[in-house]
């Protein structure tokens, strides 16, 4: 098979695995990739971090084993299918009118297949250069669980790397950073009573509603030149056991997206003060933002590689979602980091998710160019 057939075949193979998270099960998909990569010359480490949950490290060394390799990362878990019916089999990998359909096609199994295919195509450059490191994770969609487990895994030593490429969906547009995420669970405690005698109780839902009203217009901090205004969203509310009782407990979850100019500890303190003493806060996810200086020499080279693929001059852009780079970048020696993948950003988490086949093929060549920059 040629390179185009290789990447399409591999992408379709990955899409056929159900890796929906929750509940989360990357076991069969990771085992398939571990075998595939090992057969193609990579040294692999398949690491279990929970029941049916796996991370996979694959390394191909260059001529100098002590040199800093180029690193790629991607996650294999996907979000649930949603309630709307799919016109195309979510695990079928159908190609219709130039679109490759399936849950995870854009976010982000196509990118994983593409950077693997690029490595296969450019093995000589890798082996005569500095080598490559592939970090394939589980559990990214629920807060970078796999990446966190990888850092806590005593059996894994991550080397410093030359640069980090995150294959999230960008339609092959180079992205130099993303916002941080602070997820907080806010709980209120009341006093239960019969629903016919509410005056004898303290309604925890009312307390939560009051607190939500107070924080609705909370400002996490000043805008960032690239990441703009930080945001806050109350995503879930849960309280009460039955309709005819006064609820004695309620919780709501807050999603705050931040920038490098903001400190999560300070944001948490101010939010707690605004919500009031009746609200107890628990941190669910705490992920820093990621931003590489636009003037970094490697970033400039990547932009030159991407330039012919887009109309007009390329701008320095960031995205609001988080990636595994939040945790992996520091562990890899704080290298320059680019978010770059063939997926369609608007297709992430959507019904009938797809990746454009021409973008997928384009990304193999693009990743190959980056490998040849001096892998």
Let me know if 94 is a catalytic residue: no
Q: Which CATH number fits domain 181-287: 3.90.550.10, 3.90.1150.10, 3.30.70.360, 3.40.50.11540?
A: 3.30.70.360
Domain ranges for the chain, please list them: 3-178+289-371, 181-287
Catalytic residue among 77, 145, 168, 353: 77
Q: Evaluate whether 3-178+289-371 and 181-287 have a shared fold.
A: no
Catalytic choice (141, 168, 353, 365): 141
Going residue by residue through the chain, which has 375 residues, state the pLDDT in tens, using 9 for 90 and above.
577 789 999 999 999 999 999 999 999 999 999 999 999 999 999 999 999 999 999 999 999 888 999 999 999 999 999 999 999 999 999 999 999 999 999 999 999 999 999 999 999 999 999 999 999 999 999 999 999 999 999 999 999 999 999 999 999 999 999 999 999 999 999 999 999 999 999 999 999 999 999 999 999 999 999 999 999 999 999 999 999 999 999 999 999 999 999 999 999 999 999 999 999 999 999 999 999 999 999 999 999 999 999 999 999 999 999 999 999 999 999 999 999 999 999 999 999 999 999 999 999 999 999 999 866
Cα–Cα distances in Å, from 72 out to 88, 133, 268, 325?
Answer: 30, 6, 33, 10
Verdict on whether the full-model pTM lies above 0.75: yes
10 Å CB burial of residue 6 (0-12, 13-18, 19+) is middle
Whether 369 is catalytic is no
CATH code linked to domain 3-178+289-371? 3.40.630.10
């Amino acid at each position: 098979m040629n390179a185009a057939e290789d990447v399409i075949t591999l992408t379709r193979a990955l899409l056929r695995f159900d890796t929906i998270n929750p509940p989360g099960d990357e076991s069969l998909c990771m085992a398939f990739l571990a075998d595939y990569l090992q057969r193609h010359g990579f040294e692999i480490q398949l690491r279990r971090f929970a029941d049916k949950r796996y991370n996979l490290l694959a390394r191909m060394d260059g001529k100098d084993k002590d040199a800093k390799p180029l690193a790629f990362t991607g996650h294999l878990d996907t979000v649930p299918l949603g309630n709307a019916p799919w016109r195309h089999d979510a695990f079928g990998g159908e190609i219709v009118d130039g679109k490759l359909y399936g849950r995870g096609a854009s976010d982000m199994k196509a990118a994983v297949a593409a950077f693997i295919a690029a490595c296969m195509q450019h093995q000589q450059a890798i082996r005569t250069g500095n080598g490559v490191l592939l970090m394939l994770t589980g559990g990214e969609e629920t807060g970078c669980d796999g990446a966190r487990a990888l850092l806590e895994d005593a059996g894994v030593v991550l080397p410093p790397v030359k640069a980090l490429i995150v294959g999230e969906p960008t339609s092959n547009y180079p992205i130099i950073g993303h916002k941080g995420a602070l997820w907080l669970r806010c709980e209120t405690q009341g006093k239960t009573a019969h629903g016919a005698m509410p005056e004898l109780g303290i309604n925890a839902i009312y307390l939560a509603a009051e607190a939500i009203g107070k924080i609705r217009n909370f400002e996490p901090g000043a805008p960032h030149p690239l990441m703009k205004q930080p945001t806050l969203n109350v995503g879930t509310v849960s309280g009460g056991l039955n309709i005819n009782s006064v609820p004695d407990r309620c919780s709501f979850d807050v999603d705050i997206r931040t920038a490098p100019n903001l400190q999560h500890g300070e944001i948490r303190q101010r939010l707690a003060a605004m919500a009031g003493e009746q609200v107890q806060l628990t941190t669910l996810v705490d992920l820093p933002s990621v931003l590489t200086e636009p003037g970094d020499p490697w970033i400039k080279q990547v932009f030159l590689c991407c330039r012919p693929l887009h109309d007009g001059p390329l701008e320095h852009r960031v995205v609001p979602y988080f990636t595994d780079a939040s945790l992996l970048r520091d562990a890899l020696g704080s290298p320059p980091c680019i978010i770059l993948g063939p997926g369609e950003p608007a297709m992430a988490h959507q019904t009938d998710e797809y990746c454009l086949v021409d973008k997928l093929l384009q990304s193999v060549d693009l990743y190959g160019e980056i490998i040849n920059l001096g892998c």
